Amino acid sequence: MAGLFGFFDYTKAGPGVSKNEPKKKRFFQFWELYIRKFFRLCIADLLYLLVSLPVVTGGMAEAGLTYVTRNYVREKHVFLPDDFFGTIKKNWKQALGMQIIDMVATAVFAIALWFYGYPVFSADSGDGSILSTILFALMIMITVTWRVMRYYVYLQMITFRMTLKQIIKNSLKFVLISLKENFIISAILLAIYAFLAVVAYLFHPLSTVIVIVLFLLFMPAFRSFLIQFMIFPVIKRVIIDPYYEEHPDEDIEARRDLNIETNEAEEKTDDVIFEDRADSETPTETVIPKQYSAEEMRRAKRYTRQPDADDDGTI
């Protein structure tokens, strides 16, 4: 008799997971995933701060953090710090170029906002105040658009084989396509920033140091996780799904890396998550679970000193 009087018998078939199990609402999905990966995200956050200290390497740090948070959002495994630095190694040229463009654009926007905003808020504003107000409002719109575009830049960079020009162009389109997602992301981030600023102001000076430390230790990973959680479904709907409808047999491994169903998986409608083996007494051959891609298994071999070919896993 297996087990003890029928208890603790792990050879018995379990209840399994129903295919018709209702999906949780996205709000609860987000927090469940975030809490589950919280400590791993803290490690990724430290790696991000380490790499981004020279400022000009901030784009590389953003690319590495985006890969980690994208995989966690897709419920895929991440080998920290191997995947973080591996992503930087594969995308450092585009990430560096994007960081330089971002720094230049930010400086230009800041100067323009000051230049056009000074006549608007100065006490001695004259007849040119109307024109200055219009130009100031226009610069605010351009600045906000650029900041929202950055939500999409690094996810496209690490996921698709695109030029930097294509990435920026697509990001501008997503600003208009994903108004709802962009508003939710921006509203949440602004609310958090405002709350931290108020706390730092009211309980100055000790609270300022605490707020800065908490911000550096938790906010980058949280921000990236929130962005990937909100925008990946949009990118999947707009770019990935239409492409694979026309090319159903391409990039199977890359699609599994993103936890996207393939035709092979769709054809096997009899596949179940947990197999009922109550009537089987003979052990079956051990196979690699489908939720782990070939790329992930190759990375796992590195930890057991089994070198294998490298692959960027991009589409």
In tens, the pLDDT along 87-104 reads 999 999 999 999 999 999
Residue 310 placed within a domain: no
Per-residue pLDDT, 289: 40
In tens, the pLDDT along 249-282 reads 776 777 776 767 654 444 444 444 334 333 444 4
Residue-number span of the structural domain to which 64 is assigned? 26-269+284-303
Mean pLDDT along residues 52-72: 95
Residue 2 placed within a domain: no
Alpha-carbon distance of 195 to 35, in angstroms, equals: 21
Mean pLDDT along residues 156-171: 94
Please, what is the average pLDDT of the chain? 80
Residue 214 placed within a domain: yes
Residue 57 placed within a domain: yes
Per-residue pLDDT, 130: 82
Residue 313 placed within a domain: no
Alpha-carbon distance of 279 to 233, in angstroms, equals: 41
Domain count, the chain: 1
Residue 4 placed within a domain: no
Per-residue pLDDT, 308: 43
Per-residue pLDDT, 260: 73
Least Cα distance to 230 among 141, 152, 176 occurs for 152
DSSP codes, 177-237: HTHHHHHHHHHHHHHHHHHHHHHHHHTTTHHHHHHHHHHHHHHHHHHHHHHHHHHHHHHII
Residue 234 placed within a domain: yes
Residue 8 placed within a domain: no
Tell which wins on pLDDT, 272 or 59: 59
Helices 206-235 and 129-159 pack at an angle, to 10 degrees, of 70
Facing residues of 32 across strands? Answer: none
